[in-house]
Each structure stands twice: as C-alpha cells, then as structure tokens.
C-alpha cells in the first residue's frame, strides 16, 4: 500500500509510545485512525492531541487480552467506521523481570503472555476474517521485538518468549496469506534500531489487579529509559535510544515495501544476530549476548 489517504488505521496500544507515534505519522499521511488501549486517560489525551493536528481520530477502550474486547474494537472499525485497511496489533507490556526464571510468579507469566501473545491471537481472530472478507488490499502488522525473535537476552525470559512466539505466529499467518494469494499483507514490526524510549519500562501503570505484582518481588530499578541509562552509565556504558516517531517512519516505509520483516538494526545487534545464526548453522557454542 502506497497511499494512506482516508484509510482507517486501527492501532492497539495507541495511547503511548510506538502506537501513539504511529497514529500521528499515519494521520499526517492522511489516514483516519482508531486508537485502542486499556489506558483510558492516555487514550483521551492522545485522541485530543491527534484531533488538534486535524487528524480524524477515534478512540476505544480495548483490552487486547480479552477476545470480546478486541471483537468489539473490530466491530467498531468495520460496522461503524466503514472498514479498516491497516491494523497494528501493537499493544505490549514488560512485567519488570528480575531474578531466576523459576522465581517468577504465575501472575507475571500470565500477564505477559495474556497481553503480548494472546493479544496478538485475539487481534488475528477479530480482524483477519473481516480483512479477508473485505477483499481489498490491507495490512495487518504485529509488533514483535528483536528481543526474543532475533536475540535472547537472559534478563527478560518471559518477554522474550512472548516475542519469539508472536514472531512464529505472525510468520505462519504471513505464509498462509501468501499461499492464498490474499490481498491482506501480514507483517511484523521490530521497533529499533536502539531501545525505544517509551512507556514500556513502566508497564505496571496498566497492570490489572488480578495479576498484581507480588509484594516481595525484586525491583529491577528500571522504570524508564532514563533509569536504564543511569545504570549503564554506572558501568561506563552508553545507552543509545530511538524516539518512537522514528519507529513510526520505519513502519510506514515497511508497509509501503510490503515485506514481512520491518526491522531497523544497529550494527551491534546485527553482529549479534549473525553470530547467533552462525552458531545455529554450525552447532557451535551459543554466543552470550550482553546489552
């Protein structure tokens, strides 16, 4: 798809970070946007800011971990707003992981998989039949992460597992659509090339009570990109970050190109990915990635 004018873009996790930037960038390209999120105040603030930019912006509360909530979002897009041509299954969280894997709580596992993995499944189930029935050129883009898909960092096993799963899921969907000569192009977005400065470090702000963090859970001490920067500086390391607006431009370019992988890697990540695949192909020792 080259021209986004008047096309409806549905963006989950649209209140903040990458999703928010996507809404502004697509709106600037003439698209109408429907942002969806569990953060109701954030949703309202973002919708207001979009409208102030003369963007035709709609908003709906949606919890991607709940099939009926995503179904209601898809119904709004198709029954009220005339159909969608861009769907970004983008909502995601990080539960603030620390300690040994076997010390993680069921609540941490469940919340992470409910949003990052089941959110993608629920989005596929709600939107793909409608996109297929529409029979027009459309894009369904899942936000994954290089952390899990390409490299496995040892400090976020739950997050990495969800993103590995989401990549496999979306890759299978992409191939199914190609095999059916479907006009729906399925893609994955890997935000980068560096850590993207968003609200993901403080996902606990939208953590549901039923998956509350254990009172004695270890604190990672990282609740913002700045926290991470300070920790890295204390080891004499520099943290480079990417602004989510840059990710939105990369995503738009990726949609126009229409390939499955929408990536932007920095040289260090690229080297790590090559080393990992080299170890897979040769059966040599797994390179141990560090940030």
Ligand X SMILES: NC(=O)c1ccc[n+]([C@@H]2O[C@H](COP(=O)([O-])OP(=O)(O)OC[C@H]3O[C@@H](n4cnc5c(N)ncnc54)[C@H](O)[C@@H]3O)[C@@H](O)[C@H]2O)c1
* Nearer of residues 70 and 177 to ligand X, judged by Cβ: 70
* Nearer of residues 18 and 255 to ligand X, judged by Cβ: 18
Is residue 87 a contact point for ligand X (CB under 6 A)? no
Cα–Cα distance measured from residue 231 to residue 239, given in angstroms and rounded to the nearest whole number: 9
Can you tell me which residue has the tokens 């928010």?
20
Cα–Cα distance measured from residue 79 to residue 63, given in angstroms and rounded to the nearest whole number: 19
| 155-214 binders of ligand X (CB under 6 A) | 191, 195-196, 198-200, 203, 206
Is residue 124 a contact point for ligand X (CB under 6 A)? no
Least distance (Å) from ligand X to the CB of residue 256?
Answer: 20
Is residue 22 a contact point for ligand X (CB under 6 A)? no
Among 15, 74, 77, 164, binds ligand X (CB under 6 A): 15
Beta-strand relationship, 261-263 and 86-89: unpaired
* Nearer of residues 244 and 254 to ligand X, judged by Cβ: 244
Can you tell me which residue has the tokens 């459309």?
138
Cα–Cα distance measured from residue 85 to residue 90, given in angstroms and rounded to the nearest whole number: 15
Least distance (Å) from ligand X to the CB of residue 237?
Answer: 17
Is residue 143 a contact point for ligand X (CB under 6 A)? yes
DSSP letter for 204, please. Answer: G
* Nearer of residues 167 and 182 to ligand X, judged by Cβ: 167
129 C-beta neighbours (distance < 10 Å), count: 11
Phi, psi of 222 (to 5 degrees): -115, 105
Is residue 17 a contact point for ligand X (CB under 6 A)? yes
17 Rama sector, left if φ>0, alpha if ψ -120 to 50, beta otherwise: left
Cα–Cα distance measured from residue 116 to residue 203, given in angstroms and rounded to the nearest whole number: 12
Least distance (Å) from ligand X to the CB of residue 236?
Answer: 22
What residues line the site for ligand X (CB under 6 A)?
A: 12-13, 15-19, 37-39, 42, 62-65, 90-93, 115, 143, 145, 191, 195-196, 198-200, 203, 206, 244
């Amino acid at each position: 798809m080259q021209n986004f004018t008047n096309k409806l873009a549905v963006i989950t996790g649209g209140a903040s970070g990458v999703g928010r930037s996507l809404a502004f960038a697509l709106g600037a390209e003439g698209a109408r946007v429907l942002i969806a999120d569990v953060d109701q105040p954030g949703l309202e603030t973002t919708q207001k800011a979009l409208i102030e930019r003369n963007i035709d912006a709609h908003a709906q509360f949606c919890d991607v971990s709940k099939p009926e909530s995503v179904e209601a979002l898809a119904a709004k897009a198709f029954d009220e707003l005339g159909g969608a041509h861009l769907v970004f299954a983008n909502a995601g969280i990080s539960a603030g992981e620390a300690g040994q894997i076997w010390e993680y709580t069921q609540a941490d596992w469940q919340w992470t998989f409910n949003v990052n993995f089941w959110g993608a499944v629920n989005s596929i189930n709600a939107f793909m039949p409608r996109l297929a029935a529409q029979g027009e050129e459309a894009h369904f883009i899942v936000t994954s992460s290089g952390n899990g898909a390409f490299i496995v960092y040892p400090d976020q096993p739950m997050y990495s597992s969800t993103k590995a799963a989401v990549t496999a899921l979306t890759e299978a969907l992409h191939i199914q659509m190609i095999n059916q000569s479907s006009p729906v192009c399925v893609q994955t977005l890997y935000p980068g090339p560096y850590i993207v400065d968003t609200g993901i470090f403080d996902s606990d702000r939208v953590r549901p009570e039923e998956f509350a963090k254990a009172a004695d859970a270890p604190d990672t001490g990282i609740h913002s990109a700045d926290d991470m920067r300070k920790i890295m500086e204390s080891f004499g390391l520099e943290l480079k970050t990417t602004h989510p607006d840059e990710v939105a431009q990369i995503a738009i370019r990726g949609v126009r190109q229409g390939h499955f992988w929408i990536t932007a890697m920095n040289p260090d990540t690229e080297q790590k990915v090559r080393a990992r695949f080299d170890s897979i192909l040769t059966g040599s020792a797994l390179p141990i990635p560090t940030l």
